[in-house]
Chain A
Amino acid sequence: MPHAAAVTSSHLLKKDHLKGFLRKLAKEYRLVAPVRNRHGDVLFTVIDDLDAVEIELNEPPQNSLKQFFLPQQEQISTYTITPEGYDFQPTQAIIPPTVYFGVHPCDLSAVLYMDVVFSRQQRDPFYLRRRQGSVLIGINCNSPAPNCFCNATGSGPFLEMGSDLQLTDLGDRFLVEAGRTPGHGLIDRWQGFFAPSTDKDRAAHYQTFLEARGRFSRQVHVEQAIRRLEAGTVPEQVWKDLSLRCQDCGGCAYLCPTCTCFTISDQQLDATSGQRLRSWDACTFAGFTAMAGGHNPVQAKTGAIRQRFIHKLRDDVRLTGRPSCVGCGRCVSICFGGTDIVRFVERACQGSL
């Protein structure tokens, strides 16, 4: 989203004041934040009543923000068949302006990547309508989870730009950085909640960053894998081994905050009408590239697995200068076949470190 450049300024928000600030925001925006549900899971959730939920900022949410900008399934048009002919009617979902609060650096980086995907070649109306009028309030990660490796993908644990407001937990208070115009606007608007930050706060912020950086339990050599993919030196056996283990469940693609491949299909409603749907898809599915009549130019499972990793770690690096894996570790936790991106990176780098 284009926003006028602005100088970063930092402020303090006492934790006691957080709920009051969110209450103000919720009056003007739909509020989405990570909430712990009654089963104990943390999920980005639309919050109707701030007093009825527990916002969880330390544990990474199981879902990302992808579903809010690219729903798992959405109607993109409807059609009718009348004596006058076959006609399409546009779908224009009304998307309320939304504040996404408590967004971890990995998920924020993912939204910035999706912005490129959905506006680089052509402007995608459905994504951009959801994205316009959205406010992103990030939270830096003080304690990366066991599967996290955003330090290896350049997308965390702290972010300095990309969000409208960026929070860092300093114990009893948040340091709040406003990097973009909408963020400055929020602070100006509700300045009663904020205090100026001091050099001491900024020193604490830096100290917290250093400690967070030292807390990763994994060392994933993403850069090395990128180099090997670009050089074409990843052994064929790696693709073969991984493809044997992939169970074709699509879990990695569905949970991945940057997997944006989709399919378009029609759903007949009655004899004379229907709706056209866009749904999440996964490049690892055998039918992803199959053409009418059954011919498939990507014939082996190895080709599909290869596509997943060369897209994220080679082709997107060529295009944007950085991988589209944001190191969130979700595929690591979901993949029971052991075909996740960390396993790939480890295999690709074997014998080269």
Chain B
Amino acid sequence: MPQPITDIYLPRQARVEQIEIENSQISTFVLAFSDRPYNDAFRYQPGQFMLVSMPHCGEAPISISSTPTRPGSIHLSVRRAGKLTAAMHGLRVGDTIGLRGPYGRPFPMEQLHGKDLLFVAGGIGLAPLRAVINTCLNQRDQFGALTVLYGSRTPSDIAFENDLSQWQKQGVDCRLTVDAPEPGWDGAVGLVTSLLDDVKPELDKSIALICGPPLMFRAVLGKLASMGFSDHQVLTTMERHMKCGVGICRHCHMDGKLACVDGPVFSLAELRRLRIMELEGC
């Protein structure tokens, strides 16, 4: 007899518990499933993503920016980009959304044990890395030195300021840069690659984790290569259009791989084998 098959496409209701406004375009939504036992048992890993439903907007994949070492709620840091994310920016505390997941291959945390980690992010790209950084801080003795290089367009665009100052206090070497300064900014100006000039990672025990727009990504790859990083020492997480999230609909195809199930986290060595836009001309 056929067994009942779980409806993998059915979202569950989650409630907005808190909203952190990161900048004019990015907010972090603190969410909990309305079904409390489900919420308590819910687990995920850094680098995984959720599919978010908003009324009449369909679904969009959003990476989880909270850390699994602090269970009880899920953080989704969302940049206003299209219809669904614009609707999310209209949410208030107490409102409900639909969620399914977690999906995707996470960051290989065990492989990072004992390593110095160099995080390089641009804009909203810090969101998935935030999950890794906070996990490292919650298991501090498992990891070596932590460095965060973060690029924003202008000082007003700097997101995750609370996190950055908190990380700094906890001994993370956080360095910021902006593409264009504003009055009162006395920090670095220039691409995030310029921050790499000032860090001296110990190559034999370092791993770089990158997330940001394609132009930044390519520039950072070039810089890391010139510093001596091998393709196996560079990890990233890819952004793609997705519908099913479970490897069937194929919207997130990447030259034979699917971002939703084979990724979204990849090593650069894995990506080099694929013909993808992010690596064109690299």
Tell me the A residues contacting B by CB distance below 8 Å: 76-77, 79, 81, 85-88, 90, 117-118, 120-126, 128-129, 132-133, 260-266, 268, 274, 276, 278, 281, 283, 288-293, 297-299, 307, 310-311, 314-315, 318
Contacts and interface: CB of A to CB of B under 8 A. Distances in A.
Contacts of A121: 246-248, 261
Contacts of B277: 297-299
Interface string B78-108: 0001111100000000011110000000000
A77 B82 CA distance: 23
Contacts of A315: 256
A123 B15 contact: no
Contacts of A266: 55-58
B140 interface: no
B96 A291 contact: no
A201 B256 CA distance: 46
A81 B54 CA distance: 10
13 contacts: A79-B98, A86-B98, A118-B248, A123-B6, A126-B9, A261-B250, A262-B249, A264-B59, A291-B241, A292-B60, A293-B81, A297-B277, A297-B278
A88 B6 contact: no
Main SS at interface, chain A: mixed
A343 to B, nearest CB: 22
Contact of A307 (B2, B53, B253): B253
Contacts of B261: 121
Interface residues on B, range: 35 or more
Scoring B11, B56, B82 by chain A CB atoms within 10 A of each residue's CB, the highest score goes to B56
A301 to B, nearest CB: 14
A265 B57 CA distance: 7
Contact of A90 (B10, B248, B251): B10
B282 interface: no
Contact of B97 (A86, A124, A265, A290): A86
A229 to B, nearest CB: 10
Contacts of B254: 297
Contacts of A289: 240-241, 251-253
Contacts of A298: 253, 277
Closest 8 CB pairs of A and B: A292-B82, A85-B96, A121-B247, A292-B81, A125-B5, A132-B2, A122-B246, A293-B81
Given A133-B2, A318-B256, 5 more contacts: A88-B12, A125-B6, A260-B248, A264-B59, A281-B251
A76 B5 CA distance: 14
B6 A292 contact: no
A87 B15 CA distance: 11
B7 interface: yes
Contacts of B251: 261, 263, 281, 288-289
